Amino acid sequence: MGVSAYINIILNGICVGGMYGLMSSAFTFQVGSLRMVNFTYGACIMLSMYLTFFFIRMVNAPVILAALGVIVINFAIGWLMRKTLLKRIDEGMNILTTMGLQLVIMNLVLFFFTSYPRDLAVFEKRIYFTPKISVGIIQLACFVMAGVILVSFQLFLNKTWTGRAIRAVVQNRDVAGLMGINSERTLDLAFSLSFILIGVAGMMLMTMFTVEPNFGDYITLIGFVICITAGLNNLTGAFITGVLVGVLSALISGVLGTAYHDPMLFGLFVVVLLVRPYGLFNKRKNAVRNI
C-alpha cells in the first residue's frame, strides 16, 4: 500500500469524522449542558437516515424538501421526548426510559423497513488532488457543512438572546427564572434544537453509509466514545475528537482490517477512561459537587 492510499484513507476518515463530530456535539450538548440524558440519539440518527432514504428514494421528493422533512420530524421528536420522557430530570430514570425508546424506534424501523440494508446509491464525483489522491465532493461538502453548522450553533449560543437565555438557564435555573426567562420553555427549545443537529448528521451519514436498523447502536457507541474522550459538555472538543476518531477508525479498518476495528477502538477508549477520566479537553474539576 502506497502513501497515497494512506492519505486517501485519512481524507476519508476526516470527512466521516466530521459527521461523528457533529452528532457527538449534539449529544454532548444534551447531556453535558442540558443534563438530559438521551440514549436515543443513535436510534434517531438511524431513523433520520431511513427517513432521508424514504423521502428521496421512495417518495422521490426533492432534496430540499426531504431535508426539511427530516429536520421537522427530528425537531418534533425532540420536543415530544422533552415533554414526556425527559420531563423530570432524573439521570437514572432518563437513562432507562431513553434506552427503552431507543429499542422501540429500532424495532419499529426493523418492522417497517425490514433488516435489509439500504443505500442511497449516489454516484459521487471526486476531486483529484493528484492522480491517486482524491476526495468525494459530497463528502467534502458534508464536512464543510458540518463545520459551518457547528460554528453557527456556537454563534447562536453566544450571540443571540435565545442562545444566551439557554446558557443562563443551563448555568442556574432559578436565577435565570428570576431574570424573566421561562426556563422550562427555554430548555424545551434547546433540546429540540439539538435534535436538528442530529437530523442533519443523519442525512449526511446517509450519503456515506448503508443503513441497517442496528446501525444506531454503532452510532451510539461511537458517540459515547467521542464525548467521553473529549470530556462532556465540550462542543469544540467533541468535534475535534470526532475527526480524530474518524481518522483512527478509518486507519484501523483500512490498514489492519475491519476485524480489529471494534476491539482496538473500544480498547483505546477504556484506556482513556482509566488514564484521563475527565476527558482530553476538560480540566479536572475541584472535587466539590452539589453541596
Partner 1 sequence: MFFKLENSTIAFGGLVANKNVTAEVEKGQIVGLIGPNGAGKSTMFKSISGFNKIDSGTIRFKDRDITKLGPVEVCRAGIACTFQKAQSFAGMTLEESVLVGAYLRRKRKKDALPFAHEMIRFVGLEGKEQVKIPRLNMFERKKAELAAALATEPEMLLLDELFAGLVPTEVEMMLELVKKVNGELGIALFIVEHVLRVIMSLCEKVYVLEYGEIIASGSPQVISSDERVIKAYLGEDYDVADDQ
Partner 2 sequence: MRQSKYKIDKRVILYLLLLAAALLFPMAANRRVLNIAIITLMYVTLGESWNLLSGMSGLFSIAHALFFGLGVYGMTITTNRLGMGLFAGVVMGLVVNTLMALLVGVIASKLSGLYFTMALIGLHQTVYSLSIQLIDLTGGSMGISMPREYLFSKTQQYYMVLTLAVASMLFYVFIRRSRIGTNFVALKENPDLARALGSNIGNWRILATVFSALMASLAGSFYALYLMSNNTEVFNASISLKIIMVVIVGGMGYVWGPVLGSSMIVLDELVRGMMPSRFAPFSVVIYAGVLIIMALLKPAGIISFFQRDEKKTPAKKERATT
Binding site for partner 2 (CB under 8 A): 31, 37, 39, 84-85, 91-93, 95-97, 99-101, 103-104, 107-108, 110-111, 172-174, 217, 220-221, 224-225, 227-228, 232, 259, 261-263, 266-267, 269-270, 273-274, 277, 289-291
Rg (CA), the chain: 19
Instruction: Check binding of 92 to partner 1 (CB under 8 A).
Output: no
3-state class of 133 per DSSP? coil
Q: Do residues 227 and 27 lie in contact, with contact meaning Cβ atoms separated by under 8 Å?
A: yes
Instruction: Check binding of 291 to partner 1 (CB under 8 A).
Output: yes
**Rounded distance, CA 53 to CA 2, Å?**
36
Q: Which distant-in-sequence residues (6+ apart) come within 8 Å of 57 by Cβ?
A: 118, 120
Residues 230-269 as x/- pattern, contact with partner 1 by CB under 8 A: ----------------------------------------
Cell numbers at residue 153, please?
450553533
CB of 232 to partner 1, least distance (A): 18
Nearer to partner 2, 117 or 263 (CB): 263
Residues within window 271-290 making contact with partner 1, judged by CB under 8 A: 286-288
Nearer to partner 2, 95 or 127 (CB): 95
For the chain, the distance separating the N- and C-terminal CA atoms, rounded to the nearest angstrom, is 58
Q: How many residues contact partner 1, by CB under 8 A?
A: 4
- DSSP labels for 140-164? HHHHHHHHHHHHHHHHHHHHSHHHH
Nearer to partner 1, 274 or 287 (CB): 287
Total residue length of the chain:
291
Nearer to partner 2, 101 or 200 (CB): 101
The CB-based long-range contact list for 264-268 (8 Å cut-off, 24+ gap) reads: 265/225, 266/221, 266/225
CA atoms within 13 A on the CB side of 291: 4
> Rounded to an integer, what is the distance from CA 144 to the centroid of its chain?
16
Return the one option of partner 2, partner 1, none that residue 286 interacts with (CB less than 5 to 8 A, by type): partner 1
CB of 103 to partner 2, least distance (A): 4
Nearer to partner 1, 125 or 289 (CB): 289
Nearer to partner 2, 6 or 218 (CB): 218
Enumerate binding residues for partner 1 (CB under 8 A): 286-288, 291
